Amino acid sequence: MRAQEQLQRLAIAELDGLDLGHKSREARAVELMTELTKDPTRSIRGAARTKAQEEAFYRLLSNDAVSMTALLNPHIDSTKRRCASVGKVILAHDTSNFEYRGGSREGLGRVRTKASQGFLFHASLAVDAGTGQPLGLVASKVWVRSDEIKSVVQGANGPRKKSGSDYARDASKESDRWVEQIQAAEELLSDAGCKALHVADREADIYASLKTLCERNYSFVIRLSRDKKARQTAAAPLENLTTLARRAEGRTEVQAPIAKRAATTIPGRKKTFAEREARTARLEFAATSATISAPQYGEGSLSINVVHVRELEPPNPDEPIEWFLLTSEPVDTVEQVAQVVQAYRTRWIIEEFFKALKTGCAMEDRELESLHTLTNVLALCIPIAYQLLAVRHMARTQPDAPASDVLSPTQIAILQAKTKLGTNPTAFQALEAIAYLGSHFDPFSKKVPGWRVLSRGMQRLHALEEGWLARDHAQKVIER
């Protein structure tokens, strides 16, 4: 089966059971999904074959009876079934900004600055805990910020930055989304008899949220963001949690690939997300237990396990890899500690998911005029992005499978003509050839090409395929 046809079949299956209140709307949604899977980067106008079809697509997206929730429900139901079949999943949680330029658009709001416009999208992506295979979205939330800067409050002597106690008193905070989405995911998966381990990066390190997760007996791994006061025993004095964790005895060492990170232009992120080159790092794992004291505006304390990951012999002694992972999971054995670290490392898949939406499906290039239409397209793109991730994962985990399992004979012929792809290629060799089309990818590096490279390569392969097929069609016409 051709890779494009396979992607189309799998993506369309994610609309099974769609209910938009009218069969014509449902048929039109399937039709639009079908066209988008052929090239997810195309605009709605580019996806339409006729002017009438273009107008019908726009009517569908702007229809008040069509919502992101309704369009996404079938995919979430499919994800639930996939989760039930594997039994245990890792749920990666994160938020991404979707920004748009060029005139004011209805319903959008401030993203980073008052001059920017867009919306925020929080996703909870399920991954098979055993194989790392992405399974789909189980929960999501979209919201828009107002122009009001909520980090500032009016004090006795004028405006001032909000304190921690100010935030704690807020009735509705953006940070509430972490617990809300974890709760939504737990409710969905409990019906499926599936156990979930929730994984999130530093933004989820909020004392009130951690306390709620512990009280509800949810399983989690969350990276420490801000140091906290803690002690190991009731008689011990309070000290910084990082100081306490650094005293823990190392349990094991591993070699781990560290991805390249480009320099950021955002001032507040330059120190935390400094530029670095890709490398293989020697990491040491250690673990301990601690009791964290509540902040001044909080109550009680929190018993938690801490895993300390540090790089041995870093190339730059001032910038070693160092993680402090807060977890509900046991850390009594080397295997348990390694499982916590591996669960956190699985979190990268949600970054790839956002890249699939933004780069692979061109979500930030959509020239639609309202939040309603943009989020409806987002709902249609989510199953496509999931399937792109799933297909790529299959190529990575089954590298020796024949390329014909994922590519058509025409696509293989094109790659053989444009690259050094040989006869009887494997899936991984085809992946390297596609990456070569997308950039100056080094086939001798033995590294799996990144999402952006593959996306560019696939787009060029599809364009070459269209020309190739058009040539064949023209030749047949001449021969007649």
Minimum mean pLDDT range among 28-42, 270-284, 289-303, 399-413 = 270-284
Query: Per-residue confidence at 166, pLDDT binned at 50, 70, 90?
Result: low
Quick one: which H or E segment has residue 445?
none
Entry pTM: 0.81
Q: How many residues in total does the chain contain?
A: 480
DSSP, collapsed to helix, strand or coil, labels residue 36 as: helix
d(CA 166, CA 72): 36
Considering the domain architecture, whether residues 382 and 329 belong to the same structural domain is answered as no
Q: Do the domain assignments include residue 141?
A: yes
How many domains in the chain?
3
Q: Do the domain assignments include residue 413?
A: yes
State the burial class of residue 61 (Cβ atoms within 10 Å of its Cβ: 0-12, 13-18, 19+): buried
Which of the two residues, 333 and 147, has the higher pLDDT score? Answer: 333
Q: Do the domain assignments include residue 403?
A: yes
Q: Do the domain assignments include residue 363?
A: no
Longest dimension (CA), the chain: 93
Each residue's pLDDT tens digit, 415-452: 899 888 989 888 778 878 887 887 755 555 556 666 66
Which structural domain, as residue segments, surrounds residue 435? 399-480
Considering the domain architecture, whether residues 235 and 111 belong to the same structural domain is answered as no
Say whether pLDDT at 413 is over 80: yes
Considering the domain architecture, whether residues 411 and 457 belong to the same structural domain is answered as yes
Considering the domain architecture, whether residues 450 and 479 belong to the same structural domain is answered as yes
Considering the domain architecture, whether residues 405 and 376 belong to the same structural domain is answered as no
Query: What CATH number is associated with residue 453?
Result: 1.10.740.10
Considering the domain architecture, whether residues 480 and 432 belong to the same structural domain is answered as yes
Query: Residue 299: its pLDDT value, please?
Result: 79
Considering the domain architecture, whether residues 337 and 451 belong to the same structural domain is answered as no
Each residue's pLDDT tens digit, 49-108: 899 999 999 999 999 999 999 999 999 999 999 999 999 999 999 999 999 987 789 999
Residues near 93 by beta carbon (within 8 Å), at least 6 away in sequence: 122, 123, 124, 125, 178, 181, 182, 198, 199, 200, 204, 350
Please check whether residue 47 is in contact with residue 35, taking contact to mean a CB–CB distance below 8 angstroms: yes
Q: Do the domain assignments include residue 23?
A: yes
Each residue's pLDDT tens digit, 295-321: 887 778 999 999 999 988 888 877 788
Considering the domain architecture, whether residues 413 and 478 belong to the same structural domain is answered as yes
Each residue's pLDDT tens digit, 287-299: 999 999 998 877 7
Query: What CATH number is associated with residue 300?
Result: 3.90.350.10
- Look-up of token digits 């189980």: 138
Query: Per-residue confidence at 192, pLDDT binned at 50, 70, 90?
Result: confident
Considering the domain architecture, whether residues 232 and 196 belong to the same structural domain is answered as no
Q: Do the domain assignments include residue 163?
A: no
Q: Six-digit token pair at 327?
A: 């977890």
Question: What average pLDDT is seen over the chain?
Answer: 84
Considering the domain architecture, whether residues 388 and 306 belong to the same structural domain is answered as no
Angle between helices 371-397 and 427-438 (to 10 degrees): 130
DSSP, collapsed to helix, strand or coil, labels residue 341 as: helix
- Residue 308, CA atoms < 13 Å, CB-side half-sphere: 19
Each residue's pLDDT tens digit, 449-474: 666 676 667 767 867 887 887 777 67
Say whether pLDDT at 190 is over 70: yes
Q: Do the domain assignments include residue 160?
A: no
Neighbouring CB atoms inside 10 A of 60's CB total 24
Query: Residue 169: its pLDDT value, please?
Result: 60
Each residue's pLDDT tens digit, 233-273: 888 999 999 999 999 988 787 877 776 666 665 555 555 55
Considering the domain architecture, whether residues 39 and 179 belong to the same structural domain is answered as yes
Q: Do the domain assignments include residue 54?
A: yes
